[in-house]
Structure 1
Amino acid sequence: MTTGPEHMRDHWWWRPGWKAGRRFYNWHLTFDEQPEVHRLAEQYRTALAPVGGLDLIPDRWLHLTMQGIGFLGDIDGQNLRAIVEAATQRLAEVPAFGVTLREPIVDPEAILVPMEPAAPVRAVREAIRAAIGWSPSGSARSGCR
């Protein structure tokens, strides 16, 4: 594992607009039925368990956050359905792919595991962003940032 920050931040600190109980729509790439990923994660959980103060993520919650959409209540049902439909159509055009996990990186909020090749993962993110009308300025069709 690479060296990283001396101290980690709480990943769950409240970001602007967040408060206890408020939910946020996100697209995640998950690792269901990926035993090699689960074995790797278990090795790191075992190694990190003595450190204390860390949230060691169980296999069912391992993910790569692809794109946030917005808070529940800020996006109406019709707009949400349109986003899901557009994403479904766009993602159907992204070919299935495999990735190789690389050496973990210690980030101030998490331990990140880069994937290669990155291009297909980027294609998934770009399809999702196009579906929500995301632009580089951070605006989206839904009016969320």
Structure 2
Amino acid sequence: MKGPVSALGINLLGNNVEAAQTVIWTHPKKTEDIGYNFTTTKTITREELNKISKYIDDKDTSANVLAGIATTILTTPLKPYLSISSGIGVTLLTSYRSTNGKLVSDKLKKSTAKSFKVKIAYKYRQTGSNDGYYFIDTIKIS
């Protein structure tokens, strides 16, 4: 495998099919450069916070909003580590939303701050001698 690829894992459990978290597949050698765990931090505006809240909390799936959020908080901050498209960022965010729910607290919505920090923690899980993936472990906004 040459570079990171996003995939939606499917687990087959008897007659049940369960969608797993979207991940960024990459060779284990990549962990030598960036480690098994790493974080990105991005400062966002109140307007961007509101867009994230509408997408994550209110389930607004407008394509323009979604691509913008993914580029702002995922794709651009990941560039020093991994190169992903905004489309992959969208699937990562969608997966995170479906497994973790609400992201923007009522306290943040009521805050008068003009900017906020989005900290995303990634973890690596090796699945064989030549394969593994990074996944979003946590997203924190403060």
Same fold (TM > 0.5)? no
Structure with greater proportional strand content: 2
TM-score by length of 1: 0.25
TM-score by length of 2: 0.25
